[in-house]
Structure formats: C-alpha cells, structure tokens
Structure 1
C-alpha cells in the first residue's frame, strides 16, 4: 500500500471522513518524526485495532523552552516516510507551524493544560512542556477525528496526562499505551539517543539497570522510598549521569507512593552529555 503524505488539515479531514463513511476505524500516532523502532511499533499496534493508521509528524514549538533543542531537533521526513510505508501506515500528516497554529503569535494561542500532573516530575524541570504537549495533541485529535490514538509508555507522565485530558474533556477517542521498545542493551529507544557519543552509549544502559535494581528492591519488600530514590540518584551520578530525579510513584496518579500502594511506577530523568534520557518501570506488589 502506497503511503500518502498530506500537509493540510483539509486534506487530512477529507481522507478520514471517507474512511469513516465506509464505517472504518482510524488510529492516530502523533510523533515529532526522526522515527525509530518504538514509533514503528505504535503503527503496528494501531493496525491491530483500526483499519487505517495516520501518523502525524510535527516538531511542536510550544513544548520547547527557549533554551531547548527545537531548532536542532532532527527532522528526517523522507526517511520517516520510507519506514512508515514498510510497516503499513497509510497517511502521514506533516503540517508546518502556520497550518497547526494559524498565523498568530504562538504566545496568544488557546492552550489546553492538565494542572498538577503537568507540574510534577519532568514538569518541574520543563515548566511549559506538558502544556505544549496537551495543546498540540488536543489539536491533532480534533483535526484527525481519529477513533484511537497510540502513545509509547516510555513517556509515562505524558501518557498519564493525555489520558486525564481525554477523560476530563469527554473526548471520543480511545488512548492506548504501548510498552517501551528497548535496544539490546536495555536502553529505551528515543529520538534523542542520537545525541549520545560512542562513549555515552556505553554508559546509557545503566539507567535502566539502576531502575531494574530498584524494582527488585521494592519487590523484596523495601518500603523506605525516599532512601531508595536517593540511593538510585547517587548510583546515576557515579555512573556519569546528571540526574533530574528518580521517583517512586503511584502508577495511576503519579502522586508519592504510600506504604499501602500496590501499583507503582519508578520514573527517572537524567542528562548524559547533551541527551536528556527518561525511562520508567511499572510493577504491582503482592498483597
């Protein structure tokens, strides 16, 4: 099947309307491009639950702070389209900023924000990030009229926030989280892994190893969460990372885990050279 690329909202809506008229389900995979195997897995999973998969490729300026890598973020549209065609995506929506946000000053656009959840964890270190994410995802949902959307669980906080937005605003779309795809070393696949030097690529898998060890400690009955987090941060520092945080949280609310909390998620964010790496592991404790 030939992959079709569109750049306007009208083109996208026209195609989706035809599919819906034929009583066919449409899945959306929102991305910023520079695709890797994790993104392609989202497409494969989308084809299990829908008749057609639309992939959006848009480097969203509203989720980047002025000191972040918006200008240098890798843009690889041609290679992305080749990869998507091989896994069965049918439509790529690749708008420019004016198409997504109109000609207005970005500081004046209507925003959609999920309070509290957006200020935790990564939100502390990237204060405008999640408001930018929910604003653009809300637009993509409205533009595409998709029946289902798929997101990677590597961005666990993002996934939780989007689920809350959809629930709170009664959006008629189903959100599916897809397990993290990892390199053979255990490193979670990410577009920003390309920033790692050869030496840093040898160190990077330590992040997942440290989280795995933390999971084992929790499964063994350890409950001193603050001490466990501090120890994991120290291990990351010793390995050469600059950690933003390691946190043990309630997997459903992202609030601090309590002694009685059974569904947990361990989340971490740490800098390694120019790359900010994030990862997480979920676990359910036995009663």
Structure 2
C-alpha cells in the first residue's frame, strides 16, 4: 500500500524513529492496514506540551495495545478564554523528540492543523451530557464540554481506536467522554489512568510549564489541601471541610481558589451521604495560570 508524503519518518542518531501524520486520510489508510493484521489500536489524545503524565498514559496504552496513536492538537473550541488559548504552550518538535526517545516502537503521532480537523467552520457541536456537565468545569467554563465533546468525537472517528486512555486529573472530562461514547455508540473502551504527580505532589499538567519555579513549588499547596480534606472526611462534615479549605486559600499569598467541591464520583452531584463514593475537586489560579486537581475521599 502506498502512503503519501504526509507520513514523515524522523530519525535521530540512534536510528529511532516515529511516524508523524498530519492528514487524516493518510492516518486512516495506515491504521486500516494495521487492523487488517489484527493489531489493537490504543489512543492517547493530548494538546501537546507533553510531560511525564502523558508519558505514563502512553506507557499504559502500550501495555494494553499493539499500536498507540498520540494526537497533538490544541483545540480552539474548548477554550472559553482567548488569552488562555493564546498562552497555551505549543511544543510540537520537542514533543516528537520526547516520544521518540521514550517510545522507539509502536507509537505514532497525529498532529493535524485546525483546518484539517474542522475545515472552514471552527465551531462546537452541542451535546446533551446531562447533569455531569453542569457542575464545576461546566459551571465556570461556558461551552467547554461541548468543545471537548466535539474534538474527541472527531478524533475518535479519525483514529477509530479500540481503546482510549485519559488521565484522572481531568476527572469530570473523563466522565464526559464516557458519556460521549454512550451517546454516539462508538465501539471504544475509555480507560481512566491515575493522576501522575511531581515530587511536590502537584498534579502534572501542560500548564505547569507556565509557572515560575517558585510558583510551581507553591502550587503543591493544592494537593496538600486535598489530602487534608481526605483526612478529615471521616471526622468532619462536608461544610466544615469546605470552610477549612476556603479559609486556607484565603490565607495563601499566591493561590486564589475558584472552587472546591465534594461530589459523587459517578454523577458529580453534591454530597448527600457517606454511603456513596466521593471525590474532592479543586480549581485555583497561581497568578494567571489555572490549575485543577482532585482526590478520592472514600
């Protein structure tokens, strides 16, 4: 089978290589040929600026699949703030080098342009994700989950993976994507992977690259307060825990709390009784960098 020059084979001194696709037609042709040999396809969608958290997703995907596709695409429709979109780090060359150094076999990169993904109409479709989309990120980032649903659906239809892997740092997004697969009836298994953290406890995120070294260390306070909430969940009421967290952030010299929520781990509905499974969720700003994190409480 002939493939176009859209496939770029990149070499380094050790002769490692990674396949890079920029057009969906070439990607589909290549993956169709792989599926004909009964290979299972895993998919790790990213917005680039790769870090150890992404690498752990790719590694887990490799353990479960024969071939892993990593998409690198900063999706404009899931940003409700133009400044946030402009500031988001774009590091495609170094991302490819990182993948090449860590995964010399069975990983390919899909890095399309916005035009390749959306054509002339860069806009979101609307989805009925139900109550799970109305809390937290859905409340504070208008249109965010329609943007997420739009791009993930498009990427799923382009890649057609057997399994897709997402980090639990974006836990609400993980539930949204599972709902998306349910709504669209796409034959894809969505797998959540545990949060990967820096030594300080700060959840790894591409946005961390926007923090100064000092702010990065200070931002570990987010995880520390989540651990405090977990420790107190058995002895204090949820209202007391919420009050303690808000007070702690009010006293912090850098971090500004956007929200702290204790929510049902399956529906994201507010706390009702401790017989259910719950998680605590935080969104906070370190200067102008927005950070999110969460932890299982019981």
Q: Which residue of 1 aligns with 2:262?
A: 248
CA offsets per residue over residues 177-232 of structure 1, 9 Å max, x none?
111111100011111112222331231111100110110111x333x212311221
> Structure 1: where are the runs of 5+ without partners?
none
Q: Which of residues 100, 119, 144 in structure 2 aligns to 1:102?
A: 119
Q: How does 1:138-177 map to 2 (within 5 A)?
A: 138-177=153-192
Q: Which residue of 2 aligns with 1:211?
A: 226
3-state DSSP of counterpart to 2:297: strand
CA distance in 2, matches of 1:66, 1:249: 26
Please identify, of 42-51 and 88-97, the stretch whose mean Cα deviation from structure 2 is larger. 88-97
Over 3 Å counting, the alpha-carbon distance change for 1:112 and 1:136 in structure 2 is: farther
Q: Which residue of 1 aligns with 2:56?
A: 41
Superposition TM-score, scaled by structure 2 size: 0.90
Shift of 1:169: 2.4
Q: Which residue of 2 aligns with 1:283?
A: 297
Shift of 1:111: 4.1
CA distance in 1, matches of 2:183, 2:246: 34
RMSD, aligned CA: 1.5
Shift of 1:234: 1.7
Q: Which of residues 200, 212, 215 in structure 1 aligns to 2:215?
A: 200
Query: How many residues are aligned here?
Result: 280
CA contact (8 A) 1:44 1:87 kept: no
Q: Which of residues 65, 70, 93 in structure 2 aligns to 1:55?
A: 70
CA distance in 2, matches of 1:127, 1:119: 10
CA contact (8 A) 2:238 2:262 kept: yes
CA contact (8 A) 1:195 1:274 kept: no
Matched, 1:84 2:107: no
Please identify, of 25-34 and 256-265, the stretch whose mean Cα deviation from structure 2 is larger. 256-265
Matched, 1:271 2:285: yes
Superposition TM-score, scaled by structure 1 size: 0.93
Please identify, of 258-267 and 171-180, the stretch whose mean Cα deviation from structure 2 is larger. 258-267
Q: Which residue of 1 aligns with 2:239?
A: 226
Please identify, of 227-236 and 139-148, the stretch whose mean Cα deviation from structure 2 is larger. 227-236
CA offsets per residue over residues 238-257 of structure 1, 9 Å max, x none?
12311111111111111112
Q: Which residue of 2 aligns with 1:93?
A: 110
Over 3 Å counting, the alpha-carbon distance change for 1:165 and 1:87 in structure 2 is: same
Please identify, of 273-282 and 190-199, the stretch whose mean Cα deviation from structure 2 is larger. 190-199
Q: Which residue of 1 aligns with 2:132?
A: 117
CA distance in 1, matches of 2:95, 2:142: 29
